[in-house]
Structure 1
Amino acid sequence: MVKWEGVIPAITTKFKEDLSLDIDAFNNNTKAQVEAGINGLVIGGSLGESSTITHEERMILLNETKSFVNGAIPVIVNIAESSTKDAISLARLAQDNGADGLMVLPPMMYKSTDEETTVWFETIAKNTDLPILVYNNPVDYKIEVTLDIFERLVKQENIKAVKESTRDTTNITRIRNRFGDRLKVLCGVDTLALESMLLGADGWLAGLVAAFPRETCAIYYLVKAGRVQEAINIYRWFMPLLELDINPQLVQNIKLAEQYTGLGNENVRAPRMVLQGAERQRVIDIIEKSLKTRPELPKYLDL
């Protein structure tokens, strides 16, 4: 069962040198995430290079991960399709293969109207029994799931949560004021995570967690325990790294960080290319400086 709270990584997809799936590397990262205290895992999100992996590969990752974690955490499949038909097909495929939930984006490659956006989510929800997290990211995807849209969507029982990525933290309070606890709220922007949790977000659907799972989880558990200043201290150290998530090359940035922390490699599928030149050096400088000053963490899982 997905509780839609805590730290839920939108994990990267690991590739071998020939760019086939690297299941061993994927499982190695997943092991580190589970040991750090995550509360779920999203497969094939934007950070997971959704646009370059096939539905078949998604199901391979789903089945391998379900087998590997053996019920320790829920496994969620991302849906980012261009047609309603394909979105329904993937939702049903995920359900048939044992997914615990779905993260659903608005239509890709078409800026839908509010009515079209509403019907898109309603139709997908009606065609699966799985619980759904609505990904609301108008900054990157140019479609906002407004509160009025959510007014209709909450009538679908299996629409359970929102990945709040509007970059406007006051939206958390608006959601709470309008819907109470009907919708779980997960922060989807790494650089706003601590603020969002203090404002009432239920958790953090995170990116840099792929390379730094313990630091990410420590912030969440410290906030939950009321030890906010300790969380702030870690968060301030973390911020230069977290800013790598709000960047068009977030996949390359985070995969390079994973390589440095021993939790992955930087192989990406075209049209992406590994970081090069001055930008590569800039990111390396951030990672290396952060590793040199990496904070000692309290025993946050014992709080």
Structure 2
Amino acid sequence: MSDPMFRGVFPALVTPFRNGAVDEDAFVALVERQIAGGVHGLVPVGTTGESATLSHEEHRRVIELCVQTARGRVPVVAGTGSNSTDEAIELMRHAKTVGADAALVVTPYYNRPSQEGLYAHYKALNDAVQLPMLVYNVPGRTGVDISNAVLERLAKLPNIVGIKDATSDLGRASLQRLECGADWVMLSGNDDTGLGYMAHGGHGCISVTVNVAPEQVSAMYNACLAGDWEAALQAQDSLIRLHKALFSDASPSPTKFALAHLGLCSEEVRLPLAPASEASRQEVLAGMRDAGVI
């Protein structure tokens, strides 16, 4: 049975900014709100955390702050991916040093390695740092798609424990579960297909929507884990418009707008991201109403 540490819903945390700098007080308050809302873990500095535009110093600081704030109440899965293997190793080493429970490592983007290159990249990380690692497959952002055949090989390595799958290919999830074995952790990377992913044998979701609606999304995944599919479907129905709205403009701009509307942080994003459009804002507000957040 897969590690119970990696079950349920994990927010892909936003990184709040104020006047161009990381707003540490707002970040701590957001983490506390997530834990109070019942989430099962935390994911700092993933895509939603605007990792692409954080300096290395900021990246490390946000992970450290997340671990310090969590104080062991829930596991912290630190985003440590890079399209340079050496840089990913360095970020993983730091995450381990400050007490993260695991690392989330995106497939190398832009340089588009071969399947063999992908295997070699993750094997190098596995060999360099003794920290549980989740592979993050998001071909829509990276330009590369890691195959189930490579994942089957990676699943045999001691530190590679599972995947964040943002392909929305649910049939692949079922095959992967059979190929990678019962211990392979499977987390959805898409809120809108998260319910279907759970039905295909998934263990949880690294979620954007939970930033905005922690109680509601946590309840949905608790229902899934308990096998209460009727309650999970009802929850999904109330959340689906919010799931969609948070990607109605470049993420995480709509999510930061939602959090700003709730008074939790500024809606500031870093260039090249722009604030959410007016049409996106209206969609987000409608989705928040459906979900019972406002």
TM-score range, shorter chain: over 0.9
Please give the per-residue CA displacement for 1:253-303, whole angstroms capped at 9, x wherever unaligned: 11111112333321111121212xxxx22222223223444449xxxxxxx
Structure 1 position 156, deviation (Å): 1.2
Read off the aligned partner of 1:288 and give its amino acid letter. Answer: L
Cα distance in structure 1, aligned partners of 2:237 and 2:162: 28
Task: Name the SS for the 2:274 alignment partner.
Answer: coil
- TM-aligned CA distance change 1:284 to 1:156, over 3 Å: same
1:181 aligns with 2:166: no
Which residue does 2:109 correspond to in 1? 108
Note if contact 1:8-1:40 (Cα within 8 Å) is conserved in structure 2: yes
Cα distance in structure 2, aligned partners of 1:44 and 1:12: 8
Cα distance in structure 2, aligned partners of 1:292 and 1:146: 39
Which residue does 1:290 correspond to in 2? 287
Structure 1 position 195, deviation (Å): 1.0
Q: How does 1:256-295 map to 2 (within 5 A)?
A: 256-275=257-276, 280-295=277-292
Cα distance in structure 2, aligned partners of 1:92 and 1:291: 38
Read off the aligned partner of 1:180 and give its amino acid letter. Answer: G
Sequence identity, in percent? 27
Which residue does 2:67 correspond to in 1? 66
Which residue does 1:13 correspond to in 2? 15
Cα distance in structure 2, aligned partners of 1:127 and 1:294: 43
Note if contact 1:136-1:164 (Cα within 8 Å) is conserved in structure 2: yes
Note if contact 1:161-1:185 (Cα within 8 Å) is conserved in structure 2: yes
Note if contact 2:155-2:162 (Cα within 8 Å) is conserved in structure 1: no
Structure 1 position 104, deviation (Å): 0.4
Cα distance in structure 1, aligned partners of 2:124 and 2:78: 17
Which residue does 1:207 correspond to in 2? 208
Cα distance in structure 2, aligned partners of 1:113 and 1:160: 22
Which residue does 1:223 correspond to in 2? 224
- TM-aligned CA distance change 1:294 to 1:89, over 3 Å: closer
Note if contact 2:245-2:283 (Cα within 8 Å) is conserved in structure 1: no
Note if contact 1:133-1:161 (Cα within 8 Å) is conserved in structure 2: yes
Which residue does 1:96 correspond to in 2? 97
Which residue does 1:163 correspond to in 2? 164
Read off the aligned partner of 1:153 and give its amino acid letter. Answer: L
Note if contact 2:191-2:207 (Cα within 8 Å) is conserved in structure 1: yes
Cα distance in structure 2, aligned partners of 1:150 and 1:168: 15
Structure 1 position 89, deviation (Å): 1.3
Cα distance in structure 1, aligned partners of 2:75 and 2:289: 34
Which residue does 1:301 correspond to in 2? none
Cα distance in structure 2, aligned partners of 1:234 and 1:13: 27
Read off the aligned partner of 2:280 and give its amino acid letter. Answer: V
Task: Name the SS for the 2:172 alignment partner.
Answer: helix
Q: TM-score, normalised by structure 1?
A: 0.91
- TM-aligned CA distance change 1:222 to 1:90, over 3 Å: same
Which residue does 2:43 correspond to in 1? 42
- TM-aligned CA distance change 1:286 to 1:27, over 3 Å: same
Task: Name the SS for the 1:42 alignment partner.
Answer: coil
Note if contact 2:170-2:197 (Cα within 8 Å) is conserved in structure 1: yes
Task: Name the SS for the 1:126 alignment partner.
Answer: helix
- TM-aligned CA distance change 1:2 to 1:21, over 3 Å: farther
Read off the aligned partner of 2:49 and give its amino acid letter. Answer: G
Report how many residues are paired: 291
Structure 1 position 23, deviation (Å): 1.0
CA RMSD of aligned residues (A): 1.8
Cα distance in structure 1, aligned partners of 2:290 and 2:98: 43
Read off the aligned partner of 2:78 and give its amino acid letter. Answer: V
1:4 aligns with 2:6: yes
Cα distance in structure 1, aligned partners of 2:163 and 2:248: 22
- 5+ unaligned residues in a row in structure 2: which ranges? none
Note if contact 1:234-1:295 (Cα within 8 Å) is conserved in structure 2: no
Note if contact 1:11-1:210 (Cα within 8 Å) is conserved in structure 2: yes
Structure 1 position 190, deviation (Å): 0.8
Runs of 4+ in structure 1 over 6 Å off = none
Which residue does 1:82 correspond to in 2? 83
- TM-aligned CA distance change 1:56 to 1:119, over 3 Å: same
